[in-house]
Structure 1
Amino acid sequence: MPRQNRPNILLITTDQHRGDCLGIEGHPVAQTPNLDWLARTGTRFRRGYSECPSCIPARRVLMSGQAPAVNGMVGMTAVEWDPPYTLAGELSRAGYQTQLIGKLHFMPYRKRYGFDHMELADGSRKASGPVPQPNDYVDWLVANTGMATVDPAIAHGVSANGWVGRPSHLPEHLTHTSWCASKALEFLQRRDPEAPFFLNLSFIDPHPPLTPPPVYYERYINQDLPGPVVGDWAPAFDGPEKGIDIDDWRISLDEVSMKQARAGYYGLINHVDDQVGRVVDALRRRGLLDDTVILFTADHGEMLGDHNMYRKTFPYEGSARVPFFVRPAAGMDCPAEVVSQAPVGLQDVLPTLLDAAGIEIPHQVTGRSLVPLMRGDPDVPWRDVLHGEHTAQYRAAEGMHFLTDGHSKYVWYSQTGREHLFNLDEDPYELHDLSLDGDGSLIEPWRERLAGELKDRPEGFVQDGRLVVGRPHDKLLPHYRTGAV
């Protein structure tokens, strides 16, 4: 496809954003009118999942279009990455002007990974280490406010991984989320008008700290908020009432603390939505909206107290399911208001966007383009199941694998053999574990499916066609350690 005929591409990503926290998903309180409109004008994938639900491995899946075991990282760790291609790199080679604004979260820090330019801020504080790393948001905040405090954006003192909810000490226009949107508007003003653009607008919200601007916190703390759900399979909470510390992975908060956490979380999502509205309005005013493919998703979700759990890395819907929708550009022959139940993952982002741009998809990609599903092709073959996994994390669950076909979900913990089977159609909050009913005819086919998925893995998860408990489940696969990736 000639360069001048390629659509612009806007990839919007949030961090730690649950798949059910959109108004269009029927959430009882979350206000997301701008995101709802984008989802309604394209295809919404209700069964979008993060194949490795924590920050760095999920982002590697998205940028490579490869399943976790193929790109080599199946758990949360920080190592240098030198992939043969990336989403941004392929678009840049095809003539796109590529820009990152916000969070990237790869090493080496500030390596561009195919982006022509980056406004990089992986968080609201400067990266730690022997040599302090610049954070473009924090540097901007200091330069524009004169705030001399170390890490002024987190001077509220709330943990970046905890459950404490309260209003931010910063006014709305000084937050990381507002900065991202403002930088996006600057990019749209200054971009090359003769080249298509790829803009990755990457918010860190609603990742903790759960400290939205006061107007958003007050909006939700003054409402009746839904509480957490706890399944009949969830272990009884046997620790201190509020966990061992504020960064713990298992909690049982009192009603007031839980409401404050949720008010903060929903407020952050609402803040992101309003700032997305600024960017969409700028595209519309510049006559670019109909020529732009917009894909929205998140790296993973947030348990938010469900099943007495918090944070991510878990196989359950709160952690693993993410918002996922695509608004096509004009001329792609895709209808609006389409809702798909097909199981899709972050590995499908790269092939979808390259396909939309008419660019050849690298042969190493394991994901698949969603464009045929968006066009409503009734004959398009799709995967039977999507596989996800994550190694054990400090104070979190054991290493796990999950499979879903969009209607059911099977979970297997690699170190203990613990299993779950959920009917997502009838039990979307995973309140009842069908594996506890004692009907082996239900769960055995899922064991066989997972064994088929893992049969060639170097860890030895499968022997003689059966799943094997206790095999190594490290964050990096052996072939990655030897440099073969």
Structure 2
Amino acid sequence: MRYDCLSIAGHPVVETPNLDELARTGVRFDRAYSATPTCVPARAAIFTGQSQKSHGRVGYQDCVPWNYEHTMPGEFAKAGYHTQCVGKMHVYPARNLMGFHNVVLHDGYLHHNRNKYSIPVREHYDEVDDYLHWLRQQVPGADLTDLGLDCNSSTVARPWHLPEKLHPTNWVVTESIDFLRRRDPDKPFFLWMSFVRPHSPLDPPQAYLDLYKDIEIPEPPVGDWALQSDPDLDGLSPYTSKGLVPKRRLQNAMAAYYALITHIDHQIGRFMQVLAEYGERNNTVILFTSDHGELMGDHHLFRKSLPYEGSARVPFIVNDPGNRLSLGTGKVVQEVVEMRDIMPTLLDAAGVAIPGSVDGGSVLKLAASSTEEGSGNAAWRSYLHGEHTQGMQSNHWLTDGKEKYIWFSQTGEEQFFLLTDDPQELHNAARDQAYQERMDYWRSVLIQELEGREEGYSDGKQLFVGRKPVTVLSHMRNG
């Protein structure tokens, strides 16, 4: 889910009443990012509280074992919490508990679990996926591919074909509600409700698609640096990551994407209602976020992994209905936060010790009612380093929430955006004479960030172009 798909954030189309209420009565972090914006490395940051340099996953690669000494659910379990995940984990092996007492799993369609010859020993998808097993009990012979949509069909959409209660989004909430019934009442609980959507396939129930089908949807922003032609007709591919997509197809995809978000929003409202019925709403701290965004046509780009706002910037809301943490009500925080901050934040909220392996920080001080909005916090990070291996588009980027510097490691191309004045990244100011000093500054920061990395990107004095990207760092591969 992209950062801007919230009514309360000013989106002109998307309806998110329940998330708006969490933000209105809680704290919204307006500059939240996923430093490695795809599912696998982003979830490593969530699970461990570590930067990508520490957890070792700097790009997307399946089938690398997850062996971490300290994990968020593991620390909660050691502290006496009953821990449960429902939905997407995206770890390996798929049934790795990662510290949870129990996982009710639905990772969605993962190619390495479906393609017979993708790895020597594969986990059979209908053995590891709890949702698919449950769905086939309701609809014999059903499969994740019945709609003809692939998990990376970023521009193709159609309505969900079965009753809404069978949709994976509803299933996550149904199973989460069942956890409230089955949990140990003598223990506090940690529950991770993890939705696959609005990641493609773009398959909202018809009622939600109807909310957007007749609305004029604004076209995506296209910067002066973006591709303006599509000689290879990449935009016609359903799996495209770039290209000029036919207007009607793109509008339908955007409508379905927004519909999936509203669907999730309503199901979160359903869970909040039941949480209150169980008497736990005012005793529960809630954190809502996403592991990455979706470009959805911005600059004629699609999917994720790139450093632009639509891909790397995400929603991030902390809500404390019982007001035990003295958070600012309706507060909007501008400091840059990241996936690595989730683990220390929730452990801090619960009074659980934060392991020394954690790189992130608790955002609760930023969110406190005693901290003035927009005042800044000198003790907080001054910038974020993000990156992702992606072939010729492998990239590193730095942002303080006001400016963003991007370096493409295989070509040496640089981009610079003044986010305060140009939030949609419409103008690449990298060659503007007025900003050469800022470019020099950010480049020097990246040189220091990458010094000593095994890829050889930097010797501490300069950046080296064309060094082979490594998706999983050696200390993780060997760990």
TM-score of the pair, normalised by structure 2: 0.93
SS at match of 1:195: coil
Q: Deviations over 1:287-333 (max 9, x none)?
A: 21111110011110001011111101000001000111111253212
Structure 2 Cα separation of the partners of residues 305 and 170 of structure 1: 28
| Equivalent residue number for residue 169 of structure 2 | 177
2:412 is equivalent to residue 438 of structure 1: no
Match of 2:152 in 1: 161
Q: How does 1:214-363 map to 2 (within 5 A)?
A: 214-241=206-233, 243=235, 245-328=237-320, 329-363=322-356
Distance 1:468 1:67 in 2: 22
Note if 1:419 corresponds to 2:391: no
Q: Which residue of structure 2 aligns with residue 94 of structure 1?
A: 79
* Deviation of the 1:286 alpha carbon: 2.0
- State the match for 1:118 in structure 2: 103
Larger deviation, residues 101-110 vs 251-260: 251-260
After the TM superposition, which residues 64-79 of structure 1 pair with which residues of structure 2 at under 5 Å, given as runs?
64-78=48-62, 79=64
The one-letter amino acid paired with 1:308 is H
1:389 equivalent to 2:384? Answer: no
8 A Cα contact 1:373 1:380, kept in partner? no
SS across alignment from 1:411: strand
Contact 1:460 / 1:468 at 8 angstroms: preserved in 2?
A: yes
* Alignment match, 1:142: 136
For 1:464 and 1:96, the matched residues in 2 are separated by 45
State the shift of 1:380 in Å: 6.1
Amino acid at match of 2:131: Y
Tell me, yes or no, if structure 1 residue 80 matches structure 2 residue 65: yes
Q: How many residues align?
A: 461
The match for 1:455 is: 451
Of residues 292-301 and 321-330 in structure 1, the stretch that sits farther from structure 2 once superposed is 321-330
CA distance in 1, matches of 2:460, 2:102: 50
Q: Does the CA-based 8 Å contact 2:448-2:460 persist in structure 1?
A: no
Contact persistence 2:37–2:312 (CA under 8 A): yes
Matching residue's letter, 1:57: P
How far residue 238 of structure 1 moved from its aligned partner, in angstroms, is 2.6
The AA in structure 2 aligned to 1:357 is A
List per-residue Cα deviations over 1:160-193 (Å, max 9, x = no partner): 1111012111221110000001111111122111
Inter-partner Cα distance in structure 1 for 2:224 and 2:19: 33
Q: Is the 8 A contact 1:233 1:432 kept in 2?
A: yes
Counterpart CA distance in 1 for 2:450 and 2:282 is: 42
Residue type matched to 1:389 in 2?
Answer: E
Amino acid at match of 1:405: D
- Contact 1:94–1:359, Cα closer than 8 Å, also in 2: yes
Q: Describe the superposition over 1:95-150 as per-residue Cα deviations: whole angstroms up to 9, x where unpaired.
A: 000000000000011010111011101015893254523211111111123x324x
Shift, 1:236, TM fit: 2.6
* SS of equivalent residue, structure 2 residue 245: coil
RMSD: 1.6
> Are 2:58 and 1:63 aligned?
no
Q: Is the 8 A contact 1:125 1:138 kept in 2?
A: no
Does the residue aligned with 1:182 lie in a helix, a strand or coil?
helix
TM-score (norm 1): 0.92
What SS does structure 1 have at the residue aligned with 2:430?
Answer: helix
Q: Distance in 1 between matches of 2:169 and 2:478?
A: 39
Cα distance in 1 for residues equivalent to 2:285 and 2:450: 35
- Report the Cα distance in structure 2 between the residues aligned to 1:43 and 1:452, rounded to whole angstroms: 33
Residue 251 of structure 1 contacts residue 308 of structure 1 at CA under 8 Å; is this kept in 2? yes
Displacement of 1:408 after TM fit? Answer: 0.9
Shift of 1:472: 2.5
Q: Is the 8 A contact 1:165 1:209 kept in 2?
A: yes
3-state SS in 2 of match to 1:435: coil
Structure 1 gaps, min length 5? 1-16
In the alignment, is the contact (CA less than 8 A) between 1:384 and 1:405 conserved in 2? Answer: yes
Moved more, 445-454 or 316-325: 445-454
8 A Cα contact 2:230 2:244, kept in partner: no
**1:43, distance to aligned residue in structure 2 (A):** 1.2
For 1:377 and 1:472, the matched residues in 2 are separated by 44
**C-alpha separation between the residues in 2 aligned to 1:426 and 1:463?**
34
Q: CA deviation at 1:434?
A: 1.1
The amino acid that maps onto 1:264 is A
The 8 Å contact of residues 451 and 462 in structure 1, kept in 2 or not, is answered as: yes
SS in 1 for 2:42: helix
Question: Could you tell me how far apart the structure 1 residues matched to 2:163 and 2:454 are?
Answer: 51
Cα distance in 2 for partners of 1:367, 1:174 equals 37
The residue matched to 1:460 in structure 2 has which SS?
coil
